[in-house]
Chains A and B, each alone.
Chain A
């Protein structure tokens, strides 16, 4: 199992952000994407997760193998922690959430309504969702927002376990997760070049109007 991205170009709001992005991610590997704000990390991850079309290029990945996690965790405030997690497990055709609760240190909170959780606890619940999907590739957009140092270490451990069991992770983050084994990819060189002349008609989007 691997994720293969070839010559990928992505755009947001009709403006190309990144182009020529290529990489391969094998089982047991993690890749950390770096780059300044607004360089297109989120857009790239959404394209890989299949949420938005790519401008160009190919993404090959076994179908239904991506677990995506972004800024919004999809947590329902009036449901308890366990209910939230059980729902996502059921959606992916699984049962059993105890292991996930344990690994993110949520077992004590299982019966609390999600609205009483702190921001960091909510984030941990959002990350626990990744475990119950039992999917191979985790696509993570800034997973450590609002986590304290201890939780970051805990989460790094969770990722390590996931990699050790044949999983893979694609992570966009600004802070150091302490995953020394992870490969790094700086997106700055892939910034889409805006042609000075009127030559990007072929892309078939707003360029056609220039």
Chain B
């Protein structure tokens, strides 16, 4: 019986991902390209926010992925801790910098959107603050990966950090809400009744979201493949050294 765990074998993963990677990459480019052109040039301006609102097509997908990349790291870390599949740990490692970049994009597009709307690049609004803190969590996670030499030790320790970090990231979110009730508008796809987002916006937005998810997948696949190759190289040199020692 074929099981999902078969793909945790590096060789099998390399084969499957080698096929999936170009596919997701092409689909991601296409949907982001079409989504952005549609969103930027073929949608009406908002009656209050004017054309600045159109940054939503970058802002919302990146914010969505900033959180979900962490969620994916949490799941893959758990899989590593419980079933010890190397690919899972390496996928978490690959997702780290991508998630951090998404967070940064969300923060920067948010600042660009916020400037004309609120008259300032940055406010200490709970939603913004939470994302900034999330960015710090990403930095710590990436730093821990790069600080530890032994790959299995690094995988174990970063996984624990990811678990504990997830709990504290959620706590920080509530702490930030407690700390300051903000002026950021509600989540874009579930706005308050009476102020529903128009389909003219939803279409390109959904397309951009799909594109970003595909882009994320493609980047994680590419990153994981790189990590697997690096591990393979390590294993080969280690074996060579051991054999030399055996011969000598």
Chain A interface residues toward B at CB < 8 A:
13-16, 191-194, 196, 204-210
B190 at the interface (CB under 8 A from A): no
Q: Per-residue 0/1 for B145-158: is the Cβ within 8 Å of any A Cβ (1 yes, 0 no)? A: 00000111000000
* Given contact pairs A209-B235, A210-B239, A14 touches B152 in the complex (Cβ within 8 A): yes
Judged by DSSP, the binding face of B is helix
Contact A206 B242 (CB under 8 A): no
Measured in the bound complex, the distance between the Cα atoms of B246 and A15 in whole Å is 13
26 A-B pairs whose Cβ atoms sit less than 8 Å apart in the complex: A13-B150, A14-B150, A14-B151, A14-B234, A14-B235, A14-B238, A15-B238, A15-B239, A15-B241, A15-B242, A193-B246, A194-B242, A196-B243, A204-B84, A206-B231, A206-B234, A206-B235, A206-B238, A208-B10, A209-B10, A209-B228, A209-B231, A209-B234, A209-B235, A210-B232, A210-B236
The majority secondary structure among interface residues of chain A is loop
Nearest CB of chain B from residue A159's CB, rounded to whole Å: 33
List of 9 A-B pairs having minimum Cβ-Cβ separation, nearest first? A206-B235, A209-B232, A209-B235, A209-B231, A194-B242, A194-B243, A15-B238, A209-B10, A15-B242
- Min CB distance, B233 to chain A, in Å? 9
- Name the interface residues of B196-221: CB closer than 8 Å to any CB of A: none
Closest chain A residue to B233, Cβ basis: A209
Q: Is the CB of A205 within 8 A of B152?
A: yes
Q: Is B86 an interface residue (CB 8 A)?
A: yes
Q: Identify which of A13, A191, A192, A209 contacts B86 (C-beta below 8 A).
A: A209
CB neighbours (8 Å) of A209 from chain B are 10, 86, 228, 231-232, 234-235
Q: Chain A residues with Cβ under 8 A from B152's Cβ?
A: 14, 205
In residues 155-211 of chain B, which contact A (Cβ within 8 Å)?
Answer: none
Please name the residue on chain A nearest to B9 by beta carbon: A208
Q: Is the CB of B86 within 8 A of A208?
A: yes
B residues adjacent to A (C-beta < 8 A): 9-10, 84, 86, 150-152, 228, 231-232, 234-236, 238-239, 241-243, 246
Residues of A within 8 A of B151 (CB): 14
Beyond the given A15-B242, A206-B234, please list 9 additional residue pairs across the A-B interface where CB-CB is below 8 A: A14-B151, A15-B241, A16-B242, A194-B239, A194-B242, A206-B235, A208-B86, A209-B10, A209-B235
Q: Are B235 and A191 in contact (CB under 8 A)?
A: no
A58 to B236, CA, bound (A): 28
Query: Can you name the residue of chain A whose Cβ is closest to the Cβ of B150?
Result: A13
Chain A residue at minimum C-beta to C-beta distance from B236? A210
**Pair A194/B235 contact, Cβ less than 8 Å:** no
Give chain B nearest CB distance to A41 CB in angstroms: 15
Q: Of all chain A residues, which has the CB nearest B241?
A: A15
Q: What CA separation (Å) do A206 and B243 show in the bound complex?
A: 15
Contact between chains at B9 and A191 (CB < 8 Å): no
When distances are taken between beta carbons in the complex, the residues of chain B under 8 Å from A191 are 246
